[in-house]
Structure 1
Amino acid sequence: MSLRVLLIGASGVFGSRIARQLAGDPRFRLTLAGRQSTSLAALGESLGDPAVQMAVLDVAAIGLVEALTALRPQLVIHAAGPFQVQDYRVAEACLACGSDYIDLADGRDFVAGIGRLDARARAAGRLLISGASTLPAFSSAVVDALLPRFSALKTIHHAISPGNRTPRGDATVAAILGYCGRPLRLWRDGRWQWGRGWMSTRRQVFPFGGRWVGLCDVPDLELFPSRYPAVREVAFRAGLELRRLHFGMLAAAWLVRLGVIRDLARHAPRLRRMSEWVLGAGAMWAAWWWSWLVAI
């Protein structure tokens, strides 16, 4: 029998990619869920699979347990970020209705705290997975694969720098902007110290060339010191392909640190659209002046 899969946040950047992978596969009976019926309908039409079902669902609304129970999923994939501002209501609703659960969370506190539900999940015989994303799922897999090459692992510095044309959703942008310029805990010299989001910028050499990268607040910073006890330093950085965009973000981080901008994350949709316009220098200057305006 086909596995009944409920995909929450299906019309987002990552959700739509998962939908395209699962649609048409006879092993799965897919239901796309999200807050906007029009977006779901457009995605469903693009998939070309008449067996795919739709469900308008708001994870923040009252009655989530009842809604999931009515849909009868066997597996819920939660791709509706940003997870930095969410609690565990979706995972708890899955436990209540007898469904397995997996999310794409990259929020540090969210992923690190999911363990509080471990005893309940084991008692219910349910699978509960958080952080099935680039970080920490892929990053920890890479470190595990490299471990046999070292007699001792003392430092983990890893970085990512996507191309400017890589699709990015508002939730992803909001997650990054949420910690720009703000304090974040870092494991340095075998003890917890403090850094600042998108700061401590440095030049990172990738196989495709050098790019600027800055500190990011990700689950790895919290999980790796305990997963790899001998490690004395863990840092993760990210950067943007276009230097003017990267340093525009750094400028915004400084404005947050100085208290000029109070809530950068709420401007995520507009800043994401502006980043897509940046193919020349002029738009970056517009972004720079706009960052000053939003602070007022």
Structure 2
Amino acid sequence: MRVLLIGATGVFGKRIAARLAHDARFELTLAGRTLSALERLRGELDDPSVQVAVIDVEATDLQDTLRSLAPEWVIHAAGPFQSQDYRVAKACLACGSDYVDLADGRDFVAGIHALDNEARAAGRLLISGASTVPALSSAVVDHLRGRFGALTSIEHAISPGNRTPRGDATVAAILGYCGRQVPVWREGRWQTGYGWLSTLRISFMSGPRWAGLCDVPDLALFPERYPGVQHVVFRAGLELRRLHFGT
């Protein structure tokens, strides 16, 4: 399978590249904006079969570029997705490739259903949100919901360790909604919250940490995915108190 990994030199892109390299099932092409960074990553992978391609997801000739590379599967990991449109997904449909992205942008993930009919007509797989949220978070809710007679409230949170790499896209996404109004499903109706506020002290396996409201796809998708739920909140926090409250 010919796999094109866009955003290969990012934090998550590098991890995906490492998993796909040296696997005979895939012909991997690393893609991004900077050739030197791509070449450096290819050297680190030490897989002579890996190719590189310079791709700008905002370029007007994106569709022609993908068609020339003829991928069968495109992994879009070039965030942040909060300010992107669906040009990569549309280019994949046009060139006959399946598509999956790591988007965690609320509007981006919630709105990709607009391409559903086109994808079905083309016989192509179109997946958005294959990330911590909403993919893993919804998997956790699905796994646990059978333990309860009724599902009325969903509150979940994440707090990465301070040594966990945070790429530019993640930082940009967080700063993009800090202090801004965020629609939140509370008491069975839409109410207004504010990004990184509504702060709580939450117990994690590693100990208690502070966490604040985040604008993620779950806030839009969960009220529809889980009928009857009256309350959906997602929070995130940073391990170091000064860094969290500084943000």
Aligned to 1:65: 63
Counterpart of 1:205 (choices 200, 203, 225) is: 203
Aligned to 1:77: 75
Counterpart of 1:101 (choices 99, 102, 107) is: 99
Aligned residues: 247
Is 1:35 aligned with 2:27?
no
Matches within 5 A, 1:129-278: 129-249=127-247
Unpaired stretches in structure 2, ≥5 consecutive residues: none
Separation in 2, partners of 1:238, 1:54? 35
Separation in 1, partners of 2:162, 2:83? 26
Deviations 1:7-47 (A, max 9, x none): 00000000010000000000000000000001000000000
Counterpart of 1:47 (choices 29, 45, 48) is: 45
Deviations 1:75-133 (A, max 9, x none): 00000000000000000000000000000000000000000000000000000000000
Higher radius of gyration, 1 or 2: 1
Which residue identity lines up with residue 189 of structure 2 in the other structure? Answer: R
Unpaired stretches in structure 1, ≥5 consecutive residues: 250-296
Displaced runs of 4+ in structure 1, greater than 2 A? none
Which residue identity lines up with residue 245 of structure 2 in the other structure? Answer: F
Separation in 2, partners of 1:230, 1:28? 43
Deviations 1:141-167 (A, max 9, x none): 000000110000000000000001101
TM-score (norm. length: structure 1): 0.83
Separation in 1, partners of 2:152, 2:204? 21
Which structure is higher in helix share? 1
3-state secondary structure, aligned to 2:82 = helix
Deviations 1:214-260 (A, max 9, x none): 000000000000000110000000000000001101xxxxxxxxxxx
RMSD of aligned alpha carbons = 0.4
Following superposition, the deviation at residue 208 of structure 1 comes to 1.6
Separation in 1, partners of 2:210, 2:99? 36
TM-score (norm. length: structure 2): 1.00
